[in-house]
Structures are given as structure tokens and as C-alpha cells.
Structure 1
Amino acid sequence: MRHGWQRLRSILVFAVALTAAACSRAPQEPAKPDSGVRVWPQPAPSETAPSPPLVAAARAQIGVTRYYDPAYVQLAYPGGDVANDRGVCTDVVIRALRTQGLDLQQAVHEDMRANFASYPTIWRASATDRNIDHRRVPNLRRWFERQRWTQPVSDSAADYRPGDLVTWELRSGVPHIGIVSDRKSWDRQRPLMLHNIARGTQEDDVLFDYPITGHYRPVLRSGEATAAR
């Protein structure tokens, strides 16, 4: 009987220890909303056709930018950025274009300062804010339009080239942006998109998952890009 009680006690102690271990995990990042994004196995990079520079720059963010974090942050200027392990959808585009010599923070700020009335007023701002203006999709859309980057919005995947920029309106009404990849969906019917919707920078099959609100093709000619410093 004594041995039986000791055995039962040992079992209870072990069970309590397991419960304690399960409840003492290391602190985690705040939970992210389920985006509903369909993630397909990623194909291996082509050994014969290197990716366009803008696409390669966006893909290089995968595994580096791991969190979606919309917090307002005071940024350096020009070339200011949040911590590279986090950001929002616009940061994927901002970081990729900086590798090509275009600093959207400076370009958008300077254009807004000179043409403030041409930009959206949905935030009721009375002046420019170089910490956040370039990180807002509606402002980027207006700047792209003013650069004559606009392309037709189409329901044909063939009309979207690698390196193009696409904007959407998510089901929640929130605007979103991504870069067209040179890789295809599992059925080869659609280009994948490089974006950050809730899980950091990813490459997903989402081109036609949401209503497309804009389609843009960057033109980065010498002398037009504002070099990041």
C-alpha cells in the first residue's frame, strides 16, 4: 500500500510538472489576425533566369521581416526605416525600391510638401509628416499616378509583370499593396505576390483574392530616382 501511494504521488508530481511547463512559454509577439492567405510551396529559384532586381530585393526580406507591426515610429530622414524585422505592407515596397535608388520617404515627402492639396485628405492632416506619409497606401497610389506609373487593372494574370505594384482593398476595407513576383502559383495560372499582410514578408498566391484598386509599373530612369542616403 505504501509503495502504491508513493507511485501515485510520483505520477501526480510529474503531471503537475508537465502542466507548469506548458504554461510557462517564452513571451511571444502579439497575436496576428488570420489573413486567410493561401500559402503554396515555394518553387526553387530559376538557375538560368535571375529575378528582376525589384523582385529579388522584396524576396530578400522573407525571413528577415517576420512581423506585421503598424505602430507609428519616428524615423530618420531621408532613408528612415523601422526595425527590419517588422513593418507593414508599404515597407516591403519602400525597402525594395530603396535598393534600386528610390527613397519613397523623401520622394513622397517632397512632392506632398509642394502639392499637398493633390494628396488624399482622409487623415485630416494639415501638414506633411515624413514619418508616416510614405507608409500609407493611398499616398503611394497618388504618388505613383503622378509619376505616370499607372497600368490598367485587369482580371488577366498575363497583364501583371514581375516587379509591378498592385494595390487592393481587403475585406475589412483596409488598403494593401504588394509586388508581383516572377514565380507562379501551384497551377501556373497566376504570379505570386510579395507582401506583408499579417505574418511578415511572404510570397503568396493572392493576386485575385481581393478587389484590385491599382496597378503600377515602376519606371526608374537615371536622374528620376532619389538616392537613399
Structure 2
Amino acid sequence: MLALACAGCGAASKASQNARTATNQARAARQQADAPRPSSGSPFLDKLVEAAVERTNHQVRYDASYFVIDYPGGDVPAEVGVCTDEVIRSYRAVGVDLQREVHEDMGRAFDSYPHRWGLKKTDSNIDHRRVPNLMTFFDRQGASLPVSSDARDYKPGDLVTWDLNSQMAHIGIVVNVPSDADASRMLIVHNIGAGPQAEDVLFNWKITGHYRYTGPKEEGKSTKAKGKS
């Protein structure tokens, strides 16, 4: 029998899920349809944003269970997932397999990754589905950017990680849909318990990481993020 494994995301509270009313969903749909769509300045990241927004059309039940999946290119069942799975699926839609990238990097530098789950070796079924591992991977790829309180620093295609009130890690993708409340603040596509949603939650929790990852490094070249653009 497979044991449950924390994938590193915090499930939304019951009250939070109940707060997502039909009115809020209709507002989000209007935002996505009518708001100006700023570009990230990168064709790759623009495609990533499109893939992330497309994920909001899928019904996904939050399930942090451990699954045995194929490698490479493996995925948990399409109808289930957690916050990391939305990031993984969005990147895979634009040709980047985070399962393989994380697994190979962990194989090269296992001691550089968190050891909080008691693993003695890599596990391609779950390693890439854990937020702390993704944070370590993005940092090792030179994709880290400064954390700030200025919404303008978070561009479409950026990745943000948070520490939720429950002390659980969470991750989402900044998309190109402006907030109704502040046009300089973009919505986040994430799954915190109610499936993939585009929501105005950038500053709802403590931000622990900010990344801009455009895929594997080309041999002999550095893809280190250059900060604000």
C-alpha cells in the first residue's frame, strides 16, 4: 500500500473554498477575456503564461497522494493534482519536463536538496512535486530573482513561492491578467485546493521565493536571471 506523501502545497481551508463563489468566478472570466494582456518580453514565457491560463479550464481535485508515474514525461492522473502539478503541466506544455530536469539535477547534487522527507536517494515519482525541491532547483539554475513588495517586479511567467499560514509551502505562476484592484498586479494561476484558478493572491501570504525559469541551460551558456526588467 502506498503511503500518502506531502507534495509541498497547502490545501485551502474549507472557508477559503466556500468563498470562491460563482460571482468571483464570473469576475475572473471577465478579467481574462477583457483585460489588456501585457507581454513578459520573452516568447518562451508568453507561451508559458498561455499554458498556465489554459490550465484554469481543467477540473482538478486536490490530492497530494504519492503516485507511481512514468519517467520521463510522467504525470499523476489528469483529474488530480496539487500546486506543483500546475507548474509542471504548464512547463511541459511548452516543452520543458521538470520531472526529468529536477531528477537529473538531484542525481548530480543530492546533498544540495532538502532532506526533510527522509529519502536516501532520488525518487522520480515525487521529487519534482515538492515545492522546496523546485525552489532549490530553480535557484541552482540561476533563476532566482529578488523578493519585493512591489507588484511591478513580478512579471508574467514568473514563479512565486509562499509560506502559508499552515506553515506549508505553495507555488504559483504569474500570468498576464491584471488585478481589478491594481492594474500593476498580475493574477496568479495556482491550485490551493479548488483546482487551477487565476486569482489576485500575490501578496496574500509571505513570499519565500521569486523565480524566472526559461528552460534548461544551453551547454556552455548561463541562464542566470538578471533581476528586474
TM-score in terms of structure 2 length: 0.78
Give the distance between the partners of 2:198 and 2:36, measured in 1 at CA: 20
Q: CA deviation at 1:140?
A: 0.3
What's 1:142 paired with? 136
Give the distance between the partners of 1:172 and 1:48, measured in 2 at CA: 35
Residue 179 and residue 48 in structure 1: after superposition, are their counterparts in 2 closer, same or farther (change >3 A)? closer
AA aligned opposite 2:132: P
What's 2:16 paired with? 36
What's 2:33 paired with? 45
Residue 178 and residue 83 in structure 1: after superposition, are their counterparts in 2 closer, same or farther (change >3 A)? same
Q: CA deviation at 1:188?
A: 2.5
Q: Any conservation in 2 of the 1:34–1:198 contact (CA below 8 Å)?
A: no
Tell me the C-alpha RMSD between the 2 structures.
2.3
AA aligned opposite 1:192: L
Give the distance between the partners of 1:60 and 1:145, measured in 2 at CA: 27
Task: Give yes or no for the alignment of 1:59 onto 2:39.
Answer: no
Q: CA deviation at 1:137?
A: 0.3
AA aligned opposite 2:192: I
Residue 173 and residue 32 in structure 1: after superposition, are their counterparts in 2 closer, same or farther (change >3 A)? closer
TM-score in terms of structure 1 length: 0.78
SS in 2 for 1:60: helix
Q: CA deviation at 1:221?
A: 6.6
Task: Give yes or no for the alignment of 1:164 onto 2:144.
Answer: no
Once the two structures are superposed, residues 1-44 of structure 1 have per-residue CA deviations (whole angstroms, 9 ceiling, x without a partner) of xxxxxxxxxxxxxxxxxxxxxxxxxxxxxx97326377541114
Alignment counterpart, residue 102 of structure 1, candidates 92, 96, 107: 96
What's 2:204 paired with? 209
Residue 44 and residue 102 in structure 1: after superposition, are their counterparts in 2 closer, same or farther (change >3 A)? closer
What's 1:71 paired with? 65
Alignment counterpart, residue 197 of structure 1, candidates 170, 192, 203: 192
* Dislocated runs of 4+, deviation >2 Å: 31-40, 44-51, 219-224
Unaligned runs of 5+ in 1: 1-30, 225-229
Q: Percent identity?
A: 48
Q: Name which of structure 1's ranges 135-144 and 52-61 shifts more when overlaid on structure 2.
A: 52-61
Aligned length: 194
Unaligned runs of 5+ in 2: 1-10, 40-45, 220-229
